[in-house]
Amino acid sequence: MAIKFIEETKTFKLDTKTSSYIFRVFEGNYLVHYYYGATIPDTEVEELRFRANYASFCPDSPSAMVYNFSPDVTPLEYSTFGAGDFRLSAFAVENAEGNKVTDLRYVSHKIYSGKQPIPGMPSTYVNEDSEADTLEILTEDAVTGVLVTLIYTVFNNHGVITRRVKVENKTDKPFYIDTVHSACIDFPGMDYEMIDLYGRWGKERAVDRYPLHHGIQSIKSKRGSSSHNHNPFTAIVTKGTTEDHGDCYGFNLVYSSNFSIDVEVDGFACTRLVMGINPDGFKWYLEPGEEFHSPEAVMVYTNEGLGEMSRIFHRFYANNLIRGKWKKAKRPLLINNWEGTGMDFDDDKLVSFAKHAKDIGLEMLVMDDGWFGKRDDDKSSLGDWVVAEYKLKGGLSHLIDRVNALGLKFGIWFEPEMISPDSDIYRAHPDWCLHTEGRDKSIARTQYVIDYSRKEVRDYIYGRMHDILSNNNIDYLKWDFNRNLTEVSCSQLPKERQGEVFHRFVLGTYEIMDRLTKDFPDLLIENCSGGGGRFDPGMLYYSPQIWTSDNTDPIERLTIQFGTSMCYPTSTMGAHVSACRRTGYETKMNVALWGSFGYELDPDKLTAEEKAEITAQIELYHRYYDVIHYGDLYRLITPFENEFKVAWQHVSEDKNEALVTVIQIKQAYNQFFMLRLKGLDLQKTYKDTETGKTYSGAYLMNAGLNLTYKPNGDGQSYRIHLLAE
Ligand code: GLA
């Protein structure tokens, strides 16, 4: 078992193959955190001590009158508000008496193999029960009877621990859940740096890194989505940590709405992290007999640097988050018409697109926005999911038949959570959008957000989608989400439940996505939110790939893809070659190959030479598909450290194949350049498939390749493909 309970000391020890996580039931039934880091032996667990920086003004707990103990300075496993711990609270309720004092103590626990799903929510899963063990600890607030179960799952072979909580009301009075975080971790000391992913539309997930300071540092969303602006990921690393060395604690939340990750350094120079649903805008009314489930937090620890932390996330998500047919099946090579035509298309234009696409070797045509209602620009028709026959003459099936007859599959775009004020559906149901009585409705991209907390509205939208998908031969669906939530309230809910609408909205989205994946198990779903505005593990549970950014400029894409790779696997990052002006097609391809590859341009406009070049690219795409999609990623030179060039490498699991890509961002004339490779087998001999030259793994990793004379002009790039002999 990866989870042990040591009776004598009432200690829980959770072991992955590389880490130990230890906490104890202390005097007064407090759950006290002792250790998270590289594996330590069971025999030395007793040596562990929690911090004891007791000082005047730290309140004592009458139920744990032990020398130097105060909840204020103790690393608590799941901190609460108002009972002696003044640092970040992981949990607080407003009880029936109207106060928020909450104090959870250990009651009992159980350990079992395997892992349970979270009702109505995405989460990581086990393929076999033997992959993971789960620990459930029941805690209680003795005064109010509030019950909270802390749930830990240890994926022994992955170096991953997941955490979440369940809140139950078995009393006879309702209470409000005010704050409910999924995880709380105390770190000894403050000598850490925090890494997060920040950005905006068109510039998602750049890497920020800064030393922790006293007080609170946080990343959050209150946009009703995980957002372009911050991603629900952070790493806490020891100072000086590099791609290959150093302690890294990676945290990611399986959630697609308002989140917060707060890190507090207290006056004693100790650190606490809490992560979960953003308490801002959240208040859940729990009636007797009801329960509430938090989203799941994924925790990765490694002492082998950021590169290994990312690879642990990648392997774990590829095996234990991504589901369905497309987890393993090769994905069709697509062309999307959005950047080529916008909404200015008709059936003949798309068929011509398809003909050219087929000629150059593509496999699927995706018809993007503009095929429904009266949609010629972004000002109308969202919600009217009826085919625009004035554009697609003869209807959708007829168009798909023509595309299929050319030998291409067909994909379609939807934006199921949105409604245009200029739509038949809005005219019939003006109250179906999120709004607050008496207030203006904020409008973004000329659209409102549908109130997905309402079941009848969800059922209607899903009914329309179901009709279209079941009556047409559709292989792929792009699910878009092009604005954030404002005026979040719901006239159908009583006033005590208005704080639930953000969360109910995302539960509604998850419900529709769940129905979609069950009713159409072969459908390949790609998520999107104005590019990568909802690139999170919650979405990856329903769709194996997400459009990484609307920005398809290959140089701009570098920071976006490097940042995204912090925790999301290559196979999940939608990346397309487009007609944008910067760099030639070679570099566009090299960048887009690092992802779920495709094209996003008008093939009618390509010259004969460009078509030939793209056909050659497609052959390379097939040749490298496995090593890129299923291999391990090594970030060799990142754009956050080097303004001139970047390099990355994919290595197959058996270390028999490697693909290295180098992009010269700007010219560095005559600069000496040795590149040491990573992740190869020191004992093997590798052949460069282009030059035929052979090298030992030891040479490639220790001495490295001299690439000084490779192309090094602005925006130039090249690959080195190695096969073990
Ligand atoms: C968003 C997406 C684009 C495209 C448009 C269509 O911006 O990110 O890829 O689908 O919507 O309106």
Report the percentage of the chain scoring pLDDT > 70. 100
Enumerate the active-site residues: 480, 550
| Confidence class for position 670, pLDDT limits 50, 70, 90 | confident
Q: Which atom of ligand 1 sits closest to the CA of residue 478? A: 10
C-alpha of residue 623 to centroid of ligand 1, in Å = 30
In Å, what is the CA distance from 241 to each residue of 15, 17, 374, 459, 721?
Answer: 23, 21, 54, 49, 29
**Per-residue pLDDT averaged across 277-285, rounded?**
98
Q: Is 329 exposed, middle or buried (0-12, 13-18, 19+ CB in 10 A)?
A: exposed
| CB of 338 sitting under 6 A from ligand 1 | yes
| Confidence class for position 465, pLDDT limits 50, 70, 90 | very high
C-alpha of residue 384 to centroid of ligand 1, in Å = 17
**Per-residue pLDDT averaged across 311-332, rounded?**
97
Q: Does residue 471 register a pLDDT over 90?
A: yes
| CB of 531 sitting under 6 A from ligand 1 | yes
Supply 453's token pair. 């907390």
CA angle 279, 283, 284 (to 5 degrees): 125
395 φψ region: left (φ > 0), alpha (ψ -120 to 50), beta (else): left
Q: Does residue 482 register a pLDDT over 70?
A: yes
CA angle 159, 302, 593 (to 5 degrees): 85
Ligand 1 pocket test: pick from 379, 415, 480, 560 the residue with the most ligand atoms within 8 Å of its Cβ. Answer: 480
| CB of 133 sitting under 6 A from ligand 1 | no
Q: Which helix (H) or strand (E) is 428 found in, with range?
A: helix 424-428
Q: Which helix (H) or strand (E) is 423 found in, with range?
A: none
C-alpha of residue 214 to centroid of ligand 1, in Å = 41
**Taking the mean position of all CA atoms in its chain, how far away is CA 140?**
32
Q: How is domain 635-724 classified at the CATH fold level? A: Immunoglobulin-like (2.60.40)
| Confidence class for position 428, pLDDT limits 50, 70, 90 | very high
Q: What is the pLDDT of residue 668?
A: 83
Q: Does residue 41 register a pLDDT over 80?
A: yes
C-alpha of residue 561 to centroid of ligand 1, in Å = 18
Q: Which atom of ligand 1 sits closest to the CA of residue 368? A: 10
| CB of 413 sitting under 6 A from ligand 1 | yes
Q: What is the pLDDT of residue 22?
A: 98
**Taking the mean position of all CA atoms in its chain, how far away is CA 537?**
3
Q: What is the pLDDT of residue 677?
A: 98
| Confidence class for position 50, pLDDT limits 50, 70, 90 | confident
Q: Report the C-alpha gap between 116 and 305 in whole angstroms.
A: 31
Give the list of residues 6+ apart from residue 456 with CB closer than 8 angstroms, or none. none
Q: Is 514 exposed, middle or buried (0-12, 13-18, 19+ CB in 10 A)?
A: middle
pLDDT tens, position by position, 149-173? 999 999 989 999 999 999 999 999 9
- In CATH, what class is 3-320? mainly beta
| Confidence class for position 52, pLDDT limits 50, 70, 90 | low
pLDDT tens, position by position, 174-190? 999 999 999 999 999 99
Supply 320's token pair. 């234990």
Give the list of residues 6+ apart from residue 458 with CB closer than 8 angstroms, or none. 452, 508, 511, 512
Ligand 1 pocket test: pick from 228, 369, 418 the residue with the most ligand atoms within 8 Å of its Cβ. Answer: 369
**Domain limits of the chain?**
3-320, 635-724
Q: Report the C-alpha gap between 283 and 500 in whole angstroms.
A: 6
Q: What is the pLDDT of residue 705?
A: 97
Nearest to 292 by CA among 125, 93, 152: 93
CA-nearest residue for atom 1, ligand 1, is 530
Q: What is the pLDDT of residue 66?
A: 83
Q: Report the C-alpha gap between 181 and 296 in whole angstroms.
A: 9
C-alpha of residue 344 to centroid of ligand 1, in Å = 14
CB of 370 closer than 8 Å to CB of 376: yes
Higher pLDDT, 510 or 62: 510
**Per-residue pLDDT averaged across 219-228, rounded?**
98
Q: What is the pLDDT of residue 71?
A: 94
- Is 3-320's fold the same as 635-724's? no
Q: Is 685 exposed, middle or buried (0-12, 13-18, 19+ CB in 10 A)?
A: middle
Q: What is the pLDDT of residue 51?
A: 73
CA angle 526, 530, 536 (to 5 degrees): 55
Side-chain-side CA neighbours of residue 158 (13 Å): 28
| CB of 368 sitting under 6 A from ligand 1 | yes
Q: Which atom of ligand 1 sits closest to the CA of residue 530? A: 8
